[in-house]
C-alpha cells in the first residue's frame, strides 16, 4: 500500500488512543502490515507510552516534578484568565445588550417626546434585540464548546 510515512505518524498516535474512525483504523492497520518502518515507529510509541504511563509520581526526580507542576500552574493561570475574560464579557455584553434592547423595545425616545420622527419602526424594535440575543447565544455556545474541546484534547502538547 502506497503511503507517506510522515503523514502516517500522527495517525499512529491517534490509533493508540483509539480515536480513529473505523476506516482510518483499518487503513493504519494495512499500512502497519506493509511498512516495516511504520510498524517499528508504532511499536516504539506503544513501548514509550507503557513506560511513561507506568512511572509513579513518587519515583520521579525533583526536576521532573517541578516541570510537571510548572505545566499545571500555567494551565491554572490560563483557566483563571479565561474565566475572568468570560465574566467581563458577560457583564459588558449583557448590560449593554439589555440597555439597548430595553431602549428599543419600549421606544423610549418616542415615549419622551411624542414626536412621530422619534418613533422606531417595529421591525427594528424587534429585529435588533433578536439579533443581539441570537448572536450572544451563538457566541457563548461556541465558546463553551471550544473550552470543553480544549480540555479534552489529548494532542495539545504534541510537537512536530
**pTM of this prediction?**
0.41
What span, in angstroms and rounded, lies between the C-alpha atoms of 77 and 48?
A: 30
Average pLDDT, the chain: 79
With a pLDDT cut of 90, the percent of the chain lying above it is: 4
User: Sorting pLDDT into bands at 50, 70 and 90, what band is 159?
Assistant: low
Residue whose cell numbers read 430595553: 102
**Could you report the per-residue pLDDT of 74-111, keeping only the tens digit for each?**
566 667 777 888 888 888 888 888 888 888 888 888 88
pLDDT recorded at residue 141: 92
- Say which DSSP state 60 is in: S
pLDDT recorded at residue 156: 60
- Check: CB of residue 73 under 8 Å from CB of residue 91: no
Amino acid at each position: 500500500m502506497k503511503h507517506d510515512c510522515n503523514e502516517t505518524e500522527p495517525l499512529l498516535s491517534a490509533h493508540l488512543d483509539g480515536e480513529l474512525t473505523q476506516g482510518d483504523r483499518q487503513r493504519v492497520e494495512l499500512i502497519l502490515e506493509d511498512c516495516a518502518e511504520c510498524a517499528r515507529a508504532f511499536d516504539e510509541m506503544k513501548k514509550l507510552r507503557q513506560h511513561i504511563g507506568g512511572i509513579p509520581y513518587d519515583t520521579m526526580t525533583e526536576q521532573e516534578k517541578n516541570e510537571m507542576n510548572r505545566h499545571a500552574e500555567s494551565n491554572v493561570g490560563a483557566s483563571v484568565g479565561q474565566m475572568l475574560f468570560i465574566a467581563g464579557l458577560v457583564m459588558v455584553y449583557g448590560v449593554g445588550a439589555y440597555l439597548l434592547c430595553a431602549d428599543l423595545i419600549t421606544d423610549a425616545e418616542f415615549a419622551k417626546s411624542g414626536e412621530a420622527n422619534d418613533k422606531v419602526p417595529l421591525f427594528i424594535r424587534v429585529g435588533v434585540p433578536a439579533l443581539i440575543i441570537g448572536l450572544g447565544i451563538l457566541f457563548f455556545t461556541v465558546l463553551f464548546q471550544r473550552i470543553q474541546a480544549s480540555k479534552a484534547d489529548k494532542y495539545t502538547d504534541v510537537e512536530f
